[in-house]
Structure 1
């Protein structure tokens, strides 16, 4: 007996569509009641319903919240008030949900205190007074502004760039006020060029223990630093024990004037850097006076002569040998530079450092080089501060890395017209709050 194929049962398309639509509405209702409050998680509100608006091909989610409390605390007399003086609708932006731009609608209430007759707008934990966004939304804007321009954040989050800037600056100032409560024991001071052509410098002050920036000053002169130190409380000034500087005299005089108890240390990397700069001057002078053959060998040797020898590639080592073989004066200065660097890397005792540095000075003086003689004078002028490195072992290496990061901030923003905005950007990105967040991850 042949098998009869089973045919699909007849269907009523309109009836099935109606049932499907009803099931979807029921599902939406269940989602609203069971999960929307958990998903939104705003402690002051219960989400009663929502709607989805289609605008220019984009879905916008509107949430409607009801207050969980019928009272508020009077800010003047601190008593509880239940008397509502005025109500008006309010709408604020919240974090996106499922890629939907999300807005929260609720009734803003003004209360009248029964005790002192003061009228006041209730303060909400999730929404700041007069703000058009929730606190958590503004925090996301702030965090994204740390690594992107205000313009790109504005485009990504459907905001005006001026709104992003306002949010960032306000939160940066709030976080900076919290950071300023901390005592610092070890300071590092280093400059950064804001506009090299115009020789415009800023002073970056860092906490060497917490590895973060604590201040950015608009100038590297003595007066600016003295003013900043004077504005610190007496307890904060007394807490500072060590200051590492880059052998810039205005820093030294300002620290001695305002922090007479602090121990000043000449940063070892800046000491070696000054020696390298004198070797570079010697190379340039030699090139100007040399014939074509010597010039060809010296070409491209700038970094060879200042780079640590153990970091040279085999090709660079061959080139270096040619340079040292053809220029006795450069060879003499280079070998002394390597010897000087080894003293700082291998000697850990102050008395030993004194002896080795004294011998090194005699060797440098015997060469008769005016460039080495200039560096010897620098050593003698900063003798005590240089020797303190061997006691404390503290350097500005961290602040040098910070300077490179700050340079990227300047480049990303194509410069800053307003120094205070630049200062806040640096402190937000490299201050205590940011470093503490990075270390806790």
Structure 2
């Protein structure tokens, strides 16, 4: 519908006939067919702009593309093409947007080890773009594509991420003005994992002696005390009295939370040294010591949180929504379709055609 054919029949009876030209028939020589752009549809679209606008609204309200296609009385492929054009339209309109901070995260999109790298816009709370792979090279390609203007890339002042060496290398290469901020929620996850590893090791040791004290206590140790019900809090206090090893790991995790309250680089450095020294002096806490060594290697990015208090908390919510999209579409193993879905629903794009 975006273009229409204009046929012009010419022949011996029409040669030199000025009246035919005056009647609006045109002067297309040789009888060729021309494609003429029309104001009520986009080029190469089989639908009017008004219908595509309606279709975009319907697809945004439906749980699956199949459901939307059924309501619109079009095929799944036609609905997919409308969605693709909508996303392309939205991305074209967003090219010059300045993003002062970005978030980078990974998300599985297929079976096995198929991963995508997701670039987030924390200020607008949306997905800016995503690309296949999670290597440094793949992340560089993604950043250069979603931020094509070098001047725009220079205005990105911070990038928050987990402790991926690939992500950090890509940011250093592509965003020269951006400081790297390691996500505090990722740090909390590492500390929680260490506490649970200590708990499980102690549980195995005690179980061999017939002591089941730590059985079914994972929730007690991994939930912040401020979030525990009164009864669970009392049970945790009893566990403290009966198992000092896990209690020490729990205490080290809780103590580290004060790192994020430091107001200067010097204060945070001093805090970390004291905390690290205490952890390394304890016996039987190898998982916690391993985390302390990891944090030491990434300390610069942790300290950057002081000047750029950013987190990737948005990524957790986005990942949950992406999982819902995958489930509704039963997999989305094709990355191109996966990208279109994510940007359509989570990109906050201006996707409606001009009508």
The alignment partner of 2:109 has SS state of: strand
Equivalents in 2 of 1:272, 1:390: separation in Å? 17
Does the CA contact (< 8 Å) of 2:99 and 2:121 recur in 1?
A: yes
Aligned counterpart, 1:214: 128
Aligned counterpart, 1:251: 167
Aligned counterpart in structure 1 of residue 277 of structure 2, from 346, 351, 362: 362
Aligned counterpart, 1:145: 59
How much has 1:121 moved relative to structure 2? Answer: 4.7
Aligned counterpart, 1:168: 83
- The runs of 5 or more residues in structure 1 that have no matched partner are 1-80, 86-111
The 1:392–1:295 alpha-carbon spacing in structure 2 relative to 1, beyond 3 Å, is farther
How much has 1:320 moved relative to structure 2? Answer: 2.3
- The RMSD of aligned alpha carbons is 2.7
Does the CA contact (< 8 Å) of 2:159 and 2:181 recur in 1?
A: yes
Correspondence list, 1:45-84, <5 A: 84=24
Does the CA contact (< 8 Å) of 1:238 and 1:259 recur in 2?
A: yes
Equivalents in 2 of 1:120, 1:392: separation in Å? 57
Correspondence list, 1:309-320, <5 A: 309-320=225-236
Equivalents in 2 of 1:83, 1:349: separation in Å? 81
Aligned counterpart, 1:283: 199
Equivalents in 2 of 1:426, 1:113: separation in Å? 48
The 1:335–1:170 alpha-carbon spacing in structure 2 relative to 1, beyond 3 Å, is same
Equivalents in 1 of 2:227, 2:239: separation in Å? 17
- The runs of 5 or more residues in structure 2 that have no matched partner are 1-20
Equivalents in 2 of 1:187, 1:129: separation in Å? 34
Aligned counterpart, 1:198: 112
The 1:113–1:267 alpha-carbon spacing in structure 2 relative to 1, beyond 3 Å, is farther
Aligned counterpart, 1:425: 341
The alignment partner of 2:68 has SS state of: helix
Does the CA contact (< 8 Å) of 2:203 and 2:212 recur in 1?
A: no
Does the CA contact (< 8 Å) of 1:287 and 1:294 recur in 2?
A: no
Q: Deviations over 1:119-156 (max 9, x none)?
A: 74543333334544321221222233234211111222
Say how many residue pairs are matched.
327
Equivalents in 2 of 1:379, 1:139: separation in Å? 50
The 1:82–1:380 alpha-carbon spacing in structure 2 relative to 1, beyond 3 Å, is farther
Equivalents in 2 of 1:165, 1:295: separation in Å? 59
Equivalents in 2 of 1:83, 1:293: separation in Å? 103
Equivalents in 2 of 1:269, 1:227: separation in Å? 27
Aligned counterpart in structure 2 of residue 402 of structure 1, from 295, 308, 318: 318
The alignment partner of 1:391 has SS state of: coil
Equivalents in 2 of 1:206, 1:82: separation in Å? 58
TM-score normalised over the length of structure 2: 0.83
